[in-house]
Amino acid sequence: MLLDAKNISKSFPLPTGAAQPVLKDISLTLNPGETLALTGESGSGKSTLLHILGALEEPDSGTITLSGMPLSPGTDSSRATLRRTKIGLVFQQFNLIPSLTVAANLAFQARLAGRHDPVWQATLAERLGLTDLLSAWPETLSGGQQQRVAIGRALGPRPPLILADEPTGNLDESSAEMVLALLLELVADTGAALLTVTHSERIAAAMSRRLHLRAGALE
């Protein structure tokens, strides 16, 4: 088992001082090579759960292990190490660094993890159709091109887990199809597991498994 989350709960404070439950006793597992869609209405807690699984937030209670190592509870330092070396994150907003070229953005996560491999980076650039854009700046790229850079950056360190939050949400239909196909192809080739938060029935249907969140609880 790659990822094992047990009894995850999370609340956020309200202006009144009360706590608003967002996640309620969530448990899920993910095996190497598995693809999982996490669906649910807006406000159901999908992105909060993804941020917790990605070591970007701490749950109020529950435990998470990743590759047999504790992700939560854990120290800020241990979570940061796992986030750099074991997790690739792909967001709807791309989140490229505007002051870096495409080549430098592609290498960014791998360099942080101490795993930069020029041969693998060149392979990713070719597979993602970015070879002719390596010296370009993010602002000159289309949305589909930017998301392909973001996917390459996430896969740069060859992490065992890829977490994607609405990865095609800002793309037109044609670009979305291309990005989804590339993401699934590269994840399969690297043996990584993929968990994607999505509203898209098309994306959910392309995953090997699906879980649905309603009001912070799994159905």
User: Do 53 and 63 contact (CB within 8 A), yes or no?
Assistant: no
Cα(114)–Cα(38) distance, integer angstroms: 31
> How many structural domains does the chain have?
1
Tell me the residue ranges of DSSP E strands in the chain.
3-13, 19-30, 35-40, 61-66, 69-72, 87-91, 161-165, 193-197, 209-214, 217-218
**pLDDT reported for residue 131:** 97
User: Do 154 and 84 contact (CB within 8 A), yes or no?
Assistant: no
Q: What does pTM read for this prediction?
A: 0.92
Average pLDDT, the chain: 93
- For residue 37, list its beta bridge partners: 196, 210
The pLDDT confidence band at residue 82, using thresholds 50, 70 and 90, is confident
Model confidence pLDDT, tens digit, residues 51-71 = 999 999 999 999 999 999 888
List the single range of 26-30, 70-74, 91-95, 104-108 with lowest mean pLDDT. Answer: 70-74
Judged against a pLDDT cut of 90, whether residue 76 lies above it is answered with: no
**Residues 3-21, mean pLDDT to the nearest whole number:** 92
Cα(77)–Cα(173) distance, integer angstroms: 40
The pLDDT confidence band at residue 11, using thresholds 50, 70 and 90, is very high
The pLDDT confidence band at residue 86, using thresholds 50, 70 and 90, is very high
What residue has token string 């649905």? 212
Judged against a pLDDT cut of 90, whether residue 171 lies above it is answered with: no
**Residues 126-139, mean pLDDT to the nearest whole number:** 96
Which residue range(s) make up the domain with 35? Answer: 3-218
**pLDDT reported for residue 172:** 85
**pLDDT reported for residue 59:** 95
With b meaning 16 or more CB within 10 Å and e meaning fewer, what string describes 40-64? beeebbbbbbbbbbbbeebbeebbb
Where residue 34 sits, what CATH number does that domain have? 3.40.50.300
Judged against a pLDDT cut of 80, whether residue 188 lies above it is answered with: yes
Judged against a pLDDT cut of 90, whether residue 9 lies above it is answered with: yes
